Amino acid sequence: MTARPGLFISFEGGEGSGKSTQIRLLEQWFRKRGDDVVITREPGGSPGAEEIRTLLLTGDPGRWDAVTEALLMFASRRDHVERTIRPALAQGRVVLCDRFADSSVAYQGYGHGLGPDYIRQLWQIAIGDFKPDLTLLFDLPIETGLDRARQRFGTVSAAEDRFERMGMEFHRRLQQGFRAIATAEPERCKMIDADGDIDVVTARVTDAVTLFLKSRGIPA
């Protein structure tokens, strides 16, 4: 356990943005510094939230209407925050989370048209002011992201992934949403240009994290 308080960093972005790879690399970076790191993800990240994840990610694209989907996202998030994230932070650990509430703002708010204000109200109801200390937003041309996702799954329409079948217009709204989030909260949310080789993007990530640690007075 480290002496300083825990850190909560979320990774956000559209499909195929490379955030899962970068989370593993940042985990190693923190471990080399001697930090105790927890990797988690949304939807999911606690036993109850993982059960809700299965409901959310399997089945027909029209299985849930947009509001129900948003409520399920926040139900799973509440469980994840209370059972996994807060306890880890209380132990001084570094929590790296693959997606968090900004994904709901982008996907359900912008993508599915519920609007960012509606989602931010749900955010407040479910978890109050709780939010990441730092959010890294992986930004990539949409076609590049979808190509990468296709390579990963063989096809974009992989059986277990209804979110990847939602069409170009949806992905465009998503990208605009993530960019609007970064503009609205520039202190917390840092855009990472995710177009480039893995090590180039890793350097951008560690630069952003180093700057953040310095801004908090934490030795990098």
Query: Which residues would be at the binding site for ligand TYD (CB under 6 A)?
Result: 15, 20, 42-43, 57, 73, 98-99, 103-104, 107-108, 161, 163
Beta sheet of 7-13, edge-to-edge order: 37-41, 94-98, 7-13, 134-139, 189-193
Using the minimum distance from each CB to ligand TYD, give the nearer residue, 34 or 128.
Answer: 128
Using the minimum distance from each CB to ligand TYD, give the nearer residue, 73 or 89.
Answer: 73
Using the minimum distance from each CB to ligand TYD, give the nearer residue, 37 or 49.
Answer: 49
Using the minimum distance from each CB to ligand TYD, give the nearer residue, 15 or 139.
Answer: 15
Distance CA 26, CA 197 (A): 15
Tell me which DSSP letter residue 99 carries.
Answer: S
Q: Are strands 134-139 and 189-193 parallel, antiparallel or unpaired?
A: parallel
Q: How far is the CB of 142 from ligand TYD (least distance, A)?
A: 13
Using the minimum distance from each CB to ligand TYD, give the nearer residue, 79 or 98.
Answer: 98
Q: How far is the CB of 98 from ligand TYD (least distance, A)?
A: 6
Q: At what angle do helices 198-215 and 19-32 cross, to 10 degrees?
A: 50
Amino acid at 71: L
Q: How far is the CB of 22 from ligand TYD (least distance, A)?
A: 12
List helix spans (H) across 104-186. 116-127, 142-153, 168-184
Q: Which residues pair with 39 in a beta bridge?
A: 96
Strand ranges, E, within 33-122: 37-41, 94-98
| 94 and 37 Cβ atoms separated by less than 8 Å | yes
Q: How far is the CB of 86 from ligand TYD (least distance, A)?
A: 18
Q: How far is the CB of 73 from ligand TYD (least distance, A)?
A: 4
Using the minimum distance from each CB to ligand TYD, give the nearer residue, 61 or 186.
Answer: 61
Q: How far is the CB of 215 from ligand TYD (least distance, A)?
A: 26
